[in-house]
Amino acid sequence: MRVLVSIFEQLVPISGGGTPRISSIIDVLIKRGHEVSVAASFATDATEALQTLKCNKILPLNNVSRLDKNKMRKYLLFHPFNIFKVVQEIMKSKPDLIIAHNAIAGLASLLGKKTTKSLAVLDMTDLIFQYLSSYEHAWTPQVQRIGEKVEDRVIKESDKIITISQTMKRAIVTKGAKSENVNVVYDGVKTDVFKPRVKEAAMLRQKYAEGVENIVMHHGVIDPQDHPEIIVDAAADVAKEHPSTMFWLIGNGTAIPSMKEKIIRKGLKEHFFFSGWTPFEAVPSFISASDVGLVILPDISSARIRVTLKGFEYWACEKPIVVSDLPALREVVEPGKTGLFYKPGSPRNLAEKICALLEDRKLSRRMGRAGRALVEREYSWDKLATQFVARCENMLY
C-alpha cells in the first residue's frame, strides 16, 4: 500500500517526543514492502533524510524547536503552512493510507482526504491543546478553546485511532470516538540502542560527578507543563539524608532558567548538573551513569493519560525508576517490582522514594533488571511498531 506518514516535529535527527515512535513505524512499513512518503521537519538536507529513513519520498515541513521559548507563537505561525503542504501532497499523491501523529497533522489528513479515497489513522499520544493552560499568554485561552474543538473533530472523523494507554483510550471515547475504532499500542524503546553502557558511564561520572556517590537523573524536554521544579524541592530533602548526591537534568527546555534560580536560592548548586541539549544517541550513556531515573508529571488531565518514553529508556538501561502515581503510568509500572510511585505534587514523598532506592542497592538492581526484562518482553519498538502497522494493514486487506 502507499502510505503517507506525517508528524509536525523534527524527525531527522530524532528529536524526542513522538519521533522515536514514528521513525519505528516508518521502518516497519518499509520492511513490510509498503511505499512510504514522509512529511516532517528535518535538520538535514533532503538526500541525508531520505538515506536515513529509507523511504520513497520526503516532504520537508517548517520546523519549530520544542526548546524555543516562543514556540507557541511559532506553532500558530508555521502550522497553517505545514497543514496546507500536507493537504496538497495528499490530493496529489492520493495515498491509500495516511498516518498522522497527533491532532494538527490529523487535521491535515482529514482535509486532504476529502477528495481522495485515503483512510486516515490518527496516532494519538497527547491531547496537545490541554498543555496551553500551562503557558501564561493573553491569547492562550481562546486558542485553547478553538484548538480543543479542532482536536475533537479530528478524533471523531478519523477512520482509526491508535493511542498509548487504556486511560487515553477512555478519554478519546468520551470525546466522540467509537471504542471499536480505538486501539492501544504503548510507547516503547529501541533495546539495541538503550542498554547498559558501562565504559561510557564511568567516563561521564568521572567527568561530571567525580567523588559523588549517587546520581539521580531526569532527561527529556524540561517544560513548565510537567512541573519539573518539584525536583529542586525534593533535592533539598534528599541532600539532607544523602549529601553526596547529584541530580542530573539531561536535556533542555523553557523551565530551566526558573529552576536554576530556585536552585541558587536554596543553596543547592553543587547538587545539580544541567547538560543542555544532548543528542539522542548520547542519552543511554547518561542513563547508564545514573542510579535512579525520574518520571515527573503533575496530577492534571493531560498527564493522567500519558506514559512517557523516558520510563522505558531507564528500564532498558537497567535503572530503577520513581514515577508519578497517575492512571496511565499504573498500566505499565508494577510498584515495588519495576518502580516506585510518588504522590504527584509532594516533594517530600518524591524525596522519600528516591532515598529508598539509594539506600537499598539490592532493590535498585533488582528493579533495574526487571525493567530490562519487561521492555525486552513487552515494550521494544520492533514489537510495538509491528503491532501498529498490522492494525493499519487490516484496514485495507
pLDDT, mean of residues 342-367:
98
3-state secondary structure of 292: strand
Across the range 9-27, mean pLDDT stands at 92
Count CB atoms within 10 A of the CB of residue 337: 14
Q: What is the pLDDT of residue 33?
A: 97
Specify the DSSP class assigned to residue 396.
H
Q: Please state, for a pLDDT cut of 90, what percent of the chain lies above it.
A: 81
Q: What is the DSSP letter of 34?
A: -
Q: Which of 35-44, 73-82, 379-388 has the lowest mean pLDDT?
A: 73-82
Are 323 and 230 a contacting pair, CB within 8 Å? no
Domain ranges of the chain: 2-188+380-396, 198-378
Which pLDDT score is estimated for 193? 95
What architecture (CATH level 2) is domain 2-188+380-396? 3-Layer(aba) Sandwich (3.40)
Average the pLDDT over 299-322 and give the result.
Answer: 95
Percentage of the residues of the chain whose pLDDT score is greater than 70: 92
Q: How many Cβ atoms from other residues are within 10 Å of residue 178's Cβ?
A: 11
> What top-level class would CATH report for the domain 198-378?
alpha beta
pLDDT of residue 80: 87
Three-class DSSP category at 163: strand
Helices 381-396 and 19-31: crossing angle, nearest 10°? 60
pLDDT tier for residue 61 given thresholds of 50, 70 and 90: very high
Q: Higher pLDDT residue, 133 or 205?
A: 205
Where does the pLDDT of residue 333 fall: very low under 50, low under 70, confident under 90, or very high at 90 and above?
very high
Q: Largest alpha-carbon pair distance within the chain?
A: 65
pLDDT at 68: 57
- Within this chain, domains 2-188+380-396 and 198-378 share the same CATH topology: yes
pLDDT for the residue 140: 64
Bridge partners (DSSP) listed for residue 294: 322
Looking at per-residue pLDDT, the higher value among 122 and 9 belongs to 122
- Give the tens place of pLDDT for each residue, 112-164: 999 898 999 999 998 865 655 555 555 566 766 777 888 899 999 999 999 99
**Cell representation of residue 367:** 528493579
pLDDT category at 71 given cuts 50, 70, 90 is low
Cβ neighbours for 229, distance < 8 A, ≥ 6 positions apart: 255, 258, 259, 262
Would you say residue 182 has pLDDT above 80?
A: yes
Are 265 and 255 within 8 A, CB to CB? no
Listed ranges 37-51, 140-154, 297-311, 323-337; the one with the highest mean pLDDT: 323-337
- What average pLDDT is seen over the chain? 92
